[in-house]
Amino acid sequence: MNGTPPQGFGYRAKKTFTRLMVVALILAMGGAVLFLLSQLNARTFTLDLSNGQLVVMKGRMLPAGAVPYRPGDAALADTYAPIPVEGHDVTPLITQRFSEREELDRALFQFLEALARPRIASDEPERIERGVYYLRRAERFSGLSQEQRTTLKGLQAEVAYYQARQKLEDARKLIAEALGQLRLAAESNNRHSRNAHQMLTVVSPPTTALEDALREAVHTLSAPRSKDEPPAPAPAAPPTAPAPQPAGEEPLLPGQPLAPDAGSGEP
């Protein structure tokens, strides 16, 4: 009679073990793939638009998903804090994925440059100050290209005048405040009155002159020129020196005719 011979226990155990090994290998390979995908996602940065702000997102340690990027370092947390979009179209940014932080830095710099440039070109102090804020955030990025660093340096040079003017105004206010406090102390009857009076005697003349100079520099010299104000006249040309006269001859007076050459005569 033809029939399948009975299979022994060893054969069945070997077959079961082989199946288990295949399943384990498949699970291990799947786990490795999931781990690699999780690592790749954890290093990936994206940008999201939330409540009118551009938010930096960082991938979870999972094959998919991201959370707002909140570094433990306070300086980094401020650098990558949400950025107001100010009405700009950020669709190209929120559709990108950045595998390195340097790529994210370059993309964010382009956006901050677009926000800062029209503001630092304004004559309104509030808009200029806002542009300076965006530049200060942009200068913290460590992954900028050389071209972007050159652009940043040029933008910083444009606002250097405004920053210097603001510092001069702050210095003038501090000097005025210090003089006022010294006068108050000198006029009061306390243990510091004498010292305050002596200090005021020494510093009052030069600091008053410095305060006046700072006020003139900030409020007069740096004020924009009026449209009706004529341009400054061109400097006058220096007077032409008279031609040297031969020895023994006196210079001619204005309107005096030239004398005929010696030795020449009428025919």
pLDDT, one tens digit per residue, over 214-227 is 888 777 776 555 54
What does the pLDDT read at residue 256?
Answer: 52
Contact indicator for 12, 20 with CB cutoff of 8 Å:
no
Q: CA–CA separation, 237 vs 190, rounded Å?
A: 64
Nearest to 134, CA basis, from 157, 109, 164: 109
Contact indicator for 62, 38 with CB cutoff of 8 Å:
yes
For the stretch 23-78, pLDDT in tens is 888 888 877 877 777 777 788 999 999 999 999 999 887 877 889 998 888 888 99
The residues near 114 (Cβ < 8 Å, ≥ 6 apart) are 88
Residues in the chain: 267
Q: CA–CA separation, 171 vs 213, rounded Å?
A: 11
The amino acid occupying position 107 is A
Strand segments (E) across the chain: 45-50, 53-59, 66-68, 83-84, 97-98
Nearest to 119, CA basis, from 99, 133, 136, 101: 133
The amino acid occupying position 201 is T
State the residue for tokens 């410095």.
Answer: 210
Contact indicator for 104, 71 with CB cutoff of 8 Å:
no
The model's pTM is 0.60
What does the pLDDT read at residue 3?
Answer: 54
Q: What is the 3-state secondary structure (H, E, C) of 116-134?
A: HHHHHCCCCHHHHHHHHHH
What does the pLDDT read at residue 266?
Answer: 45
Average of per-residue pLDDT across 205-233: 69
**pLDDT higher than threshold 70 for residue 254:** no
**pLDDT higher than threshold 50 for residue 267:** no
